[in-house]
Amino acid sequence: MFFILFSIYFYRGIRTAKLYIYSMQFKKIIILFFIHFSSLLVGQSPIDFAFVLSERSVNKVFAAIGEINGTSAYEVLGLIKGHYKWKIINPKINFKPDSSDFTCNAKVDVGPFSYQSEVIGHVKIIYDNKSNVISIKITRAVFELYTMVLGKKIHIKDIHLEDYFKDPFLFEGPKSFATDMSFTMPDSSVKQIYVQPSECVMKVMKQAIKISCDIEAQDKPFKKEIKSSQAIQSDDKKKSSSNK
């Protein structure tokens, strides 16, 4: 009987010790996690909120433009004449941290001869803090237009797709997300607080553009940097009088 009771208490003691050890290990893991997480935050500039423009949303706009194509007459070697036509298939802008690009396939028909070319182009992305505009522009995207004569490849011309996308894609940035809110004070009066983004920094990531911003908050409306109609009229009068 004594041996059985001793075995039970001994087993319970071992189990309690194991639970204590596991508990200490778990606490250690939690502490290590918070130390590691804190180390990631230290040294980083504080960010109040982030605005994300996804690659998917930009390409939805791209798809809404419709088919991009071209056609014209050609002549090679002074003997062979005809017409060519081309169109681009599956155009897409790809966001990348190092260098974003534009990809598509160009389907070309030159008389009875047809082929497809893979096109990889360059994309320039800019965020202007002052105008609060994200600009995405295709700067270069070229494919060759050619035909075959007696089994030989004959170059006709290069098609520069950037000429067909002269206007950049423009998206409004995060500074338009200004807001205001009401707070009831202890004396039952209502106080209005105005909030708006201040300085913003853009970072291009894989499949997204992220713009991180700080915010400003105050109890008075922010001044808008827009001339009033009277000021504009007075400026116009000054200009007209100076021209006389």
- Is 142 among the domain residues? yes
- Is 240 among the domain residues? no
- Is 48 among the domain residues? no
Side chain identity, residue 239: K
- CB–CB of 100/93 below 8 Å? yes
- Is 32 among the domain residues? no
For residues 191 and 37, the model is more confident at: 191
Q: What value does the mean pLDDT take over residues 110-138? A: 93
Tally of domains within the chain: 1
pLDDT over 50 (residue 223): yes
- Per the confidence metrics, is the pTM higher than 0.85? no
- Is 224 among the domain residues? no
- Is 99 among the domain residues? yes
- CB–CB of 49/68 below 8 Å? no
Euclidean distance between CA atoms 2 and 21, whole angstroms = 28
Percent of the chain scored above 90 by pLDDT? 41
Strand partners, 225: none
- Is 74 among the domain residues? yes
Give the range of the structural domain holding residue 137, as residue numbers without chain letter: 55-172
- Is 156 among the domain residues? yes
Strand partners, 191: 183
pLDDT for res 16: 43
